[in-house]
Structures are given as C-alpha cells and as structure tokens.
Chain A
C-alpha cells in the first residue's frame, strides 16, 4: 500500500518535467519577457541587457530549461523577478489559502450535489427531479465571475452580512502555524477568528463550488438511476429491505465509483476556476498570484505555480484511486 503510493508519486516526476517543458516552451513563444514588463521603458538598452544577463535570460532557452530542471531537483525553483524572493517561499505562503478555498468548494459541491442527485434519482420525473435538474443546469451554466459579483452585491452590499473580499479582517492576530486560517483559529482557541474566517470563506467557496455542484448532481442522478436498474436492487427489494436502504446502501454505494471519478476530473476545472474567483474576491491564494506572474512575465514564478497546480491535481487523483479501492472491492491497487 505504502509502496504503491511511493510508486505513484515517483511516476508523477516525469509528468512534472513534461509539464514544465511545455510551460517553458509556451513562455518562449509569448511576446515580451520579464525585462520588458518590469523595467521602465526609459532604461537604456545596455541596462536592459545587463539585467537580462543577471537573470540568465540571455542564454539559449534550452540551457535555461536545463538550469531550471537541475535547480528544481534540489528544491530550488529560483527567484521571482517581480517579488525578489525565492519562488518556493512565495508559493508556500499563499498555497494554504487556495487549498482551503478548493477544499471548501469541493465539500460544498459534494454536500449539496450528492444528496440532490440521489433525491432526483429516487423520484425520477417528479417535481423534485425537475427542481434538481434546473438547479444543476443553472450551476453548470453560471459563469463564476458573474455569480461572484452578484453575490458580493447582494450579501456584502445590500444585506451587508458577509465581507466582500479578502481572507481575514485586519489585525485579527491569529498566529499562522499551518497557514490554514480555520485550523490555526481552532488551534489558538480563537472562536471569533474562526467565525471571521468562515464568513470570508463562505462566498468564494460557494461561487467556486457552484459549477461542480451542478455536475455532481447530474452525475449522481445518472449513476444512481443506472444502479437502481441493476439486478441486485431487485434482490434487495425481494429481501424486504426498506426503500431508503435500497437507495443508499445498495444503489448509491455502487454509483459512488462514477461520482468519485467525476469529482477527481472536475477538481482540475475547479482549480482553474479558483484563479478567477480569487481575483474577484481578492483572495490571497496562488491563483491571483499566477495572474500577476503572467502579466509580469515572471518565468520562475509561473513555472513554480503551474507545477504546484499539476501536483495538486496528481495528489487529488491519487486520493481518488485510493477511494476506489475502499468503495469497490473489485478494484485493486495495481
């Protein structure tokens, strides 16, 4: 089991190398570099050339890439051109915010989407089913920047009960141990801080989770409907098992493999959605950082961030695979 995980994680290394290669190539193709974006137009060509040399941008792209790979393998992802800080430090400082947001959004999506989907499948063709369908299609088709702005207007502006952006109020003074504000607040026993953190998290998490909620609802409904048509459901009913048990214990457990698969796949979409949501809500995560990085052609920062995103997606799917083996005894780890 442990060996399996080590094997899988080792298998991720080539993926990460290929991804960084692709990013590197794309950045070479994009017009402009960090010097044109970050240095004043009034600087002399000689000065610009000096800076290019200092940042290593004058060397052939392939050499730059090999340099990067060599350093990356020792854990050094270089210095950010813009922030003048090691990339790893900046990323580690802001990663918890994004993970917190992504996990909260996924929990909301699963917590709402799964029951709604099962309910719709249990009563196909009824009003419940129609409501669930309408809700999920609205969720799937809603652009999240638009929903975000709408909710800010409503809850922060009109009702004024939730903050419009940011992650915590100024001067909250909770020590950052893990970087996850919710966990840190609980560790410090600061319930006021926990409440504040949750209030800040609520809108961005809901907005980010909306799309996934819709997809999970649809997927759950379809999978449970299929499972309900299986022979073993007939067997369960012939045993005198209650409908609720037939639905959850027999049909839903068998439908879970499909639902979990879609959660894994949608997690990627969710991460890209997080960039927009983080920008709308001024959420200090790596998504907004990446957008800043791209606009300033901050190559080391961009590659570092893309690798973090790739890593998160790989880890999520590893967890999904682990989950498969828990729900379906026919699936073994190999």
Chain B
C-alpha cells in the first residue's frame, strides 16, 4: 500500500436526526489516506450513506446534525487540518465540488432534467474557478472526454434524458472530478446499473483514481464490488464500524462475525463449490411442456411529428426454444434486451406479431375466450418487486383466492381453507398467514405469497421475472431453494429471467442469452457458463465482479454501445443460422455482434 498520509479523518463521529435520542451514526472513526480507495461496506440501513453525507455536511439539509466528533480534512501545505464539523455552510460550499466531490446511486435522478449536461458541468467549474466561459467550456469538454464519452462537445448540448444510465453516471463522474478534488465520495455508484455497465464504471473510477492520485471513499453493499475496487475496507453495522483493514486481510481473515456473514452470503459466481447442472441428454427427455417457435414481438415507433408509424422496435425477434417438465430455462441479458417482453408475450399480455407457443400441445396464440382462460391457468408468473405485486388492501386469503374466483373456482376444493393452509405451508409461510395483510410481511415472505398465488392454479409453467433481484442476498438463496423444491413437488417447469449470473448459475439447467431482442447463444448451463461462445455472452460473464481481490483484473473503462433494435418498416431480418457446439450448445452466427 502507498505511503499512509491521512487525508481525511473521522474521529468519534455521531450523527443525530431531529430529536431522536439514539444517534444514527455512532462513534465512527475512519481514516482515508492519500491515493487509496476505501470501501465502506454494509447492508441497507447501516447508515453508510448518512456517514458520508455528514462529511459533505449535506446531512444538515436532511434534518440531521453532527452531535459529536470531528471530521478533519488534512491540508497539503502543512497547515493545521480543517474540522469540517465546525465550518460554516459558505466555507463548506467552497470545499464541496472543489476538494471533496460526490457521486450518487441513481444516475437517472441525480442530474437536473431541465439543464443541459454542459450547463451542469459549467456550473461547478464557474463556482470554484474564476475561468472565462471559453476556458471553462474547454475544461468541461476535456473532462467529458476523460470519462470516455463519445462526442463530448455534442454531449454538452444534450439533456440528461437523452443519455443512457451508464452515460449519465459518466457525466456525474465528470462533474465530480472536473475541479480535480482530492477526495471522491462514491455512494453506491453502480448499484442501479446493469452488470456490464457496472464493470465499465468501476474500471473508469479505478483508472481515473490512478491517473489523478485522488482518494476514493466508496460506499457499497456488494462484496463483489469491494473485491473489485478497494484497497482498504471498513465494515459498518447499525451505524458503527465493526471492522476495518486491508482488503486482502478482510477477505482472507475476517475478524467480525458480521463481515464473515457478508462474505458468505455474497453471491459467488464461478465458485469452485458451485454445482452447475450438467446437460440432460436428449434421449432422457420427455416431450416439452412449452415449445416456442419463431416468436416475434414488435412495438411501433412513432415520429414526433403527426405520430406517424416510422419504424418498429424488434423487442423479441425470432425466438425458439423448448421447456421440458421440471426443467429451468434461464433467460439472461441486460435491461432492454427483451427478456421481459418475451415473458409478457407468452402470457399474451402484449400482442405478438409472429410465432407459435405450444403449451401442452395447444397453441397459445390461436386460443380465444374460454380456451385461452383455461390455458392461462397452466402458465403463471411472478415478478421482481414483491412490494408492488401485492394489493395492500387485500388479505393473503383474498390474494390467493382471487385467481380462483376469476375462473369461477372459488367454491371448489382448491379454495377451501384446508387447501389454502396447505399451500401456505408449502411455500414456507407461518400459520395464521391467511388473514394477515401484505405489509405485515418482509420482502422475502411477500415473494413467497406471490409464489403461492401463482401456484394456486397448479400451473405447468412458472415464469419468474427477476424474482430475487429486489431481495437481500441472504433471502435470495431461500427463495431460489423454494423454487427448486416446488419445481419437483409440483411438477412444474421454470422459465427464469435474470441478469444476475450468480443466481443463474445456481438455478439454470439451460440458458438462453438474449441480446437486442434475439437469442445469440443457447445451451446447457454448464456449457454456456464455462465456454461462452458469443462475444456478448463473454462480455456479460466477464462483467461479473470477482469474488476475491486477488482475482482482480484490469477492466476496460470504455463503454460498449448497445443500440435499441429499431428497424425501418418492412425490414426483414434474415432467419437465424446456428452453429452447433455440441451437447445442444448453439451459437448464433449472424446476429449483430458486439462492437
């Protein structure tokens, strides 16, 4: 580690909110050294964010105040350190953005939507450096180039909504670093991003840190991200620092139970103990329960003027696959790749343009009325956010019997108290669940209620759209185990949509990789994960944060462009050509390759 000159020291910091008796941040002492990346780790609710907002004294605007302790900013010229706790807001303002800068979690909401990127960058330059406008503009454009944005001069005139999430986070970083601060505070800067974009942003922060020699205080809940970026780690639990040390020491010999728990529950991709399921030879298979053939779903794109239909967004393009009983097929890909549209098309929640989907031999797309309603019983779905998926004004009993009532089955045996109790027990919910309301349950329990609701009609196929990504890591495992068990006990097949490779590795029998609406690679989970053939699959797998700091490698900070699959009207895409790599592992040859 570099010479340990302290740059910022927190001494016994306590932060209170309003008139609350107990402090939110308790007795936190922390040192950030010159040129290091210090990760502050902890689960949601551990008040990491409060701690760093206290350093910036931004907490003053959120009803908090520092009740005890010091925050010392050490000066380069050997002068006595500044105690930020005692500084007036105007003096603090001169430091913010110039000496200490900050980037935030959600790049979609952290930029002012009504100001151009240029205006927001110039604002911070002109606040701290008495430049003339031309010089400030040149500085801003140079900075945008530094964060690897294409066409930096053109970006200056754009508004935030014209940029993707990853690009906006780059703009945030440019804004934070344009006045060359000595300290960058990054508050979960990659949590809201896709895994490939996360990898790019982590690479970018790393390389800018090395270029400028600044210190980074990096807040995260993800031990994988810590392994990627940190020199030192401080672990926070309930507003206290419970352990801090060198990143290798913390990963190799964690001292505190909580650190150990964090490390254990962290999703481990390509862990040596992981059991990736082997391919099932075709001979042993029964007939598919769901067979999808050449499914395409397009959305019309209208012009701004007169709303003419000018193009089509090919959200799902010529997708074919089989789903066998008791099998899990995982669909992986980034947001916007069409995986959720595929699921909605199968449920006929969005109309499809072409293709067939045979459920038990019946084509879902030709059914109407009563037949469709009947067929739909056999294909059910659970969603990502268990908080939004349940009506807060309905009791669990009402929630579970609603699908039955809709189908006129309310009075049958399935709706009886005994059957419901059995169902509730099956998904691992406590007795007495039926007459309680969703808000009385935790996130994991709510997802169990959603699963029970899907099971009440005894479906043959369960579509799970990112079913665990809104849950804490420890809970994720339990829900995945539950789904795996139900697959066998209920004789269901599972179509599992996810962007999380560690989760997919754990559940998938087979994998479909979706990129810009098309499947570019498919095959048994083991083959796809260990020998990814398509460049996009490779990029997706490489982007997964490493499990241990020793496995770190230099990441490319430039972004790969993924344009939405919008094509002019009447455009015929050529039929898919596949290369067989053995054991059912197939690579698409003609789909748009990653640049």
Contacts and interface: CB of A to CB of B under 8 A. Distances in A.
Contacts of B306: 334
B568 interface: no
B94 A237 contact: no
A334 B123 CA distance: 32
Contact of B61 (A232, A237, A328, A329): A237
B93 A242 contact: yes
B161 A329 contact: yes
Interface in A221-240: 230-232, 234-240
Nearest to B124: A239
Interface in A206-261: 230-232, 234-243, 245, 249-250, 253-254
A269 to B, nearest CB: 28
Interface stretch (B27-35, B104-112, B270-278, B469-477): B104-112
Given A237-B61, A240-B127, A334 B304 contact: yes
B98 A240 contact: yes
A235 B112 CA distance: 9
Interface in A152-173: none
B96 A238 contact: yes
A240 B94 contact: yes
Interface residues of B, number: 34
A235 B110 contact: yes
B128 A240 contact: yes
B115 interface: yes
Interface in A292-334: 327-330, 332, 334
Given A238-B101, A239-B123, A241-B127, A254 B96 contact: no
B112 A254 contact: yes
Interface in B300-340: 304-307
B175 interface: yes
A334 B112 CA distance: 23
Contacts of B104: 231, 234-235, 238
Contacts of B114: 253-254, 327-329
B161 A240 contact: no
B75 to A, nearest CB: 18
Contacts, number: 85
Contacts of A332: 304
A275 to B, nearest CB: 37
Nearest to B106: A231
Nearest to A236: B112
A259 B56 CA distance: 32
Interface of A is mostly: helix
B159 interface: yes
Nearest to B108: A231
Interface string A73-107: 00000000000000000000000000000000000
Given A239-B97, A240-B95, A234 B110 contact: yes
Contacts of B304: 332, 334
Interface in A163-221: none
Contacts of A330: 113, 159, 161
Contacts of A329: 113-114, 159, 161
Contacts of B242: none
A236 B172 CA distance: 11
Given A242-B93, A334-B305, A254 B113 contact: yes
A332 B303 CA distance: 11
A4 to B, nearest CB: 8
Contacts of A334: 304-307
Contact of A239 (B61, B127, B159): B127
Interface in B58-106: 58, 61, 89, 93-98, 101-102, 104, 106
Contacts of B115: 249-250, 253
A249 B56 CA distance: 21
Contacts of A242: 93, 127
Interface string A42-57: 0000000000000000
B113 A328 contact: yes
Contact of B111 (A235, A238, A243): A235
B60 to A, nearest CB: 9
Nearest to B100: A238
A241 B124 contact: yes
B161 A238 contact: no
A238 to B, nearest CB: 4
A3 to B, nearest CB: 8
Contacts of B93: 240-242
Nearest to A250: B112
Contacts of A232: 109-113
Contacts of A328: 113-114
A107 to B, nearest CB: 24
A240 B124 CA distance: 7
Nearest to A242: B93
Q: Of A235, A245, A250, which is in contact with the most chain B CB atoms at under 10 Å from its CB?
A: A235
B319 to A, nearest CB: 33
A253 B123 CA distance: 15
A241 B306 CA distance: 41
Given A254-B114, A334-B304, A239 B109 contact: no
Contact of B102 (A238, A243, A254): A238
B560 to A, nearest CB: 26
A250 B96 CA distance: 17
Nearest to B128: A240
A167 B177 CA distance: 61
A240 B109 contact: no
A236 B113 CA distance: 12
A249 B122 CA distance: 13
Q: Of A237, A243, A332, which is in contact with the most chain B CB atoms at under 10 Å from its CB?
A: A237
A70 to B, nearest CB: 31
Contacts of B102: 235, 238
Contact of A238 (B97, B106, B307): B97
B96 A231 contact: no
Nearest to A257: B114
A36 to B, nearest CB: 52
Contacts of A234: 58, 61, 104, 110
B22 to A, nearest CB: 23
Given A231-B104, A231-B106, A330-B159, A237 B113 contact: no
Nearest to A4: B305
B203 to A, nearest CB: 23
A234 B96 CA distance: 11
A230 to B, nearest CB: 7
Contact of A240 (B97, B113, B305): B97
Q: Of A240, A242, A249, A327, which is in contact with the most chain B CB atoms at under 10 Å from its CB?
A: A240
A87 to B, nearest CB: 36
B183 to A, nearest CB: 12
Given A231-B104, A332-B304, A334-B307, A237 B58 contact: yes
Nearest to B306: A334
A253 B114 CA distance: 7
Interface string A254-273: 10000000000000000000
B42 to A, nearest CB: 20
Contacts of B127: 239-242
Interface in B169-200: 172, 175-176
A237 B89 CA distance: 11
Nearest to A326: B114
Contacts of B124: 239-241
Contacts of B305: 334
Given A238-B101, A240-B93, A240-B124, 17 more contacts: A231-B106, A234-B104, A235-B111, A235-B112, A236-B112, A236-B123, A237-B58, A237-B96, A238-B58, A238-B104, A238-B176, A240-B94, A240-B98, A241-B123, A243-B89, A254-B114, A329-B159
Shortest Cβ-Cβ A-B pairs, 10 listed:
A240-B97, A240-B96, A239-B97, A231-B109, A238-B102, A239-B124, A232-B112, A329-B159, A231-B110, A240-B93
Interface of B: 56, 58, 61, 89, 93-98, 101-102, 104, 106, 109-115, 123-124, 127-128, 159, 161, 172, 175-176, 304-307
6 contacts: A232-B111, A232-B113, A237-B61, A240-B97, A240-B127, A249-B115
